[in-house]
Amino acid sequence: MSKHLRVAIIGAGPAGIYAGNILASKYPDVNIDLFDSLPAPYGLIRYGVAPDHPRIKGIVNSLHEMLDSGVIRFFGNVEFGKDLKLEDIRKHYHAVIFATGAIKDATLNIPGVDLEGSYGAADFVSWYDGHPDFPRTWPLNAKQVAVLGNGNVALDVARVLAKHADDMLSTDIPANVYEGLKASPVTDVHVFGRRGPAQIKFTPIELRELGELEDVDLVLYDEDFPEGWFDEDAEGVTNQHKVMARIIEGWREEEPKGASRRLHLHFFSSPVEILGTDKVEGIKFERTELNPDGSSVHGTGQFVEFPVQAIYRAIGYFGSELPEVPFDDKYGVIRNQGGRVVDEDGSQVEGLYATGWIKRGPVGLIGHTKSDATETIENLVADVDQLVDPAVADTDAVLAELKARGVDYTTWAGWLKLNDHEIALGAADTSHVERERVKVVDREEQVRVSNA
C-alpha cells in the first residue's frame, strides 16, 4: 500500500455499501465516507422493495453489519451537486465512487401514454414504500388496472394492487399507504408481457407468492399457451425456469374460487396505444408470436383492446444524470469502462468511479451488485498511485463545510435512533396484527428523530 486513501461514495444502497466494504477489505489504509440524498440508508432495499418482501429485505441485516462496524461513515440528507459538489469531493478525497442507481421509469413511446391514469411503476413503488420525496396520496380509484411488464417490479406492483390492505399490516407499510390501499375499489389487475410464459423474467419466489394471495383468483388464458409452450431441454433453460413452468401449469389446472379480486396474467401482448380522451379508458395490444430464435417476438397484425381505468408501466428503470459527471443519455448510465468514469472520447476522468445500476444499467440482482463492485474497486486500487492527494485531508473538514452551508445531515447513530423509533411505532400499534415497524415518511421528521 503506497498511501493513506480517502474515498467518498455517493449512494447508500447495496451498491454503495458493498463497494465500501470491498474497498476496506482490499485496501485497509482507507477512510470511507458514504453520502446519500435520503436521511436513511439502504436505497432501493428501503424504498424499492415491496413491503411484503421480508425475505428480500433480510439483506438489510448484512448491510447493517457493514455500516455498524464503523469502517464506513454514513451521512444522509446530503444531495450531491447541491449540498456536496464535485469540487468538494476533489478537495477532500482522493476518489469518489458513484452508486446512485436508477430510479426513473424507462419511457414507453406509444399514443396516450401521458393520459391521466397512466403511471410509471417506479413512482408507484416510491409511494407505497414511503419515499419522502413523493406525495402522500395516490389516486387508487380504478376497478380494472393494467400492469405492463414481465419482470419482478411488474409482479410487485400487481401484487400490491391486488392484495387486500389488511394482509399488508404485518409489514413496515406506512400508515398513509395502508389507508390508500384499503380504500381501493380494484377488482381486476391484468399483467401483460410482450413475450410468452416461457420467457418471463420473474423469479420463482415472486411468482409463487401470487398464488398465495388471500381472496385473489389467478386467471390465465389458453391462447397464451400453445402446444409445447415450455421445452425444458431448450438451450438456456435453468432449474428456475422449470420451477416456474410447474407453478404456472399448476395454476392452469386450478378452478376459480370466486374471490372478490382477480389477478390476470396475459402473454404475447405488445402495447400499441393507451385509449381515452382525457383519462385512461382502455389499452390496445398487438398479439405477438415467438421468432425462430425462441426469444424475440414479432407482431401478428391481430389487435385486442381491454377496458381499464389505470395503467402502470413496469418496463424498466433508467438512471439520472449527475452534475459534472459524464453521462450516457441513451443507456442511462455514467460513462465508464470497468467502473472507471470516462469522457465522451473514452479518456479516463481521474478520481471518478461508478458501480451498481448507474454503472451497468438496471439489470441483475444483489449478487451482480457484489461482483460489479469488486470490478470497480479492483480498478480503483490499481489506480491508487496516480490519484491526486486532496488539498484538505482532515477527516472532519468536509462535515464542517456542510454545517456552514446549513446542511442538516444525518449519521449512522442517527439512523439507529430512527430505526428504533420506527420499531417502537410498530409495537405501539395495537389496533391490528403485530407490526414489525411503522415507517416514518416525512423527510423533516426523519431528520428530527435522527438528530434528536
Residue 390 pLDDT grade (very low, low, confident, very high; cuts 50, 70, 90): very high
Phi and psi, residue 174, nearest 5°: -65, 155
| Over residues 222-236, mean pLDDT | 87
Average pLDDT value over all residues in the chain: 92
| Over residues 427-440, mean pLDDT | 79
The reported pLDDT for the residue numbered 57 is 65
**CATH 3.40.50.720 domain range(s) in the chain:** 5-103+319-407
Query: How far, in Å, CA of 90 to CA of 80, rounded?
Result: 13
Instruction: Note whether 323 and 86 are within 8 A (CB).
Output: yes
* 3-class SS of residue 96: strand
Residue 300 pLDDT grade (very low, low, confident, very high; cuts 50, 70, 90): very high
107-116, 203-212, 366-375 — most confident range:
107-116
pLDDT at 219 over 70: yes
- For residue 237, count other CB atoms closer than 10 A to its CB: 14
The reported pLDDT for the residue numbered 316 is 84
The reported pLDDT for the residue numbered 48 is 86
Which residue in the block uniquely carries the three cell numbers 401478428? 300
Which one of 3.90.110.10, 2.60.40.1120, 3.40.50.1780, 3.50.50.60 gives the CATH number of domain 106-317? Answer: 3.50.50.60
Residue 236 pLDDT grade (very low, low, confident, very high; cuts 50, 70, 90): confident
- AA letter at 325: V
Query: How far, in Å, CA of 264 to CA of 286, rounded?
Result: 17
**pLDDT, greater one: 302 or 431:** 302
- For residue 441, count other CB atoms closer than 10 A to its CB: 18
CATH number of 5-103+319-407: 3.40.50.720
The reported pLDDT for the residue numbered 295 is 80
Q: What is the pLDDT of residues 1-18, one digit of tens each?
A: 578 999 999 999 999 999
Query: How far, in Å, CA of 146 to CA of 380, rounded?
Result: 45
**CATH 3.50.50.60 domain range(s) in the chain:** 106-317
The reported pLDDT for the residue numbered 432 is 62
| Over residues 297-308, mean pLDDT | 96
The reported pLDDT for the residue numbered 365 is 67
Percentage of the chain modeled with pLDDT above 70: 97
Give the burial class of 113: count Cβ atoms within 10 A of its Cβ; 0-12 exposed, 13-18 middle, 19 or more buried. middle
| Over residues 86-110, mean pLDDT | 92
Q: Which of the residue ranges 160-164, 204-208, 304-308, 403-407 would you say has the lowest mean pLDDT? A: 204-208
| Over residues 425-452, mean pLDDT | 87
The reported pLDDT for the residue numbered 51 is 85
Q: What is the pLDDT of residues 326-375, one digit of tens each?
A: 999 988 999 999 999 999 999 999 999 999 999 998 876 666 788 899 99
β pairing state of 282-290 and 297-306: antiparallel
Percentage of the chain modeled with pLDDT above 90: 70
The reported pLDDT for the residue numbered 54 is 64
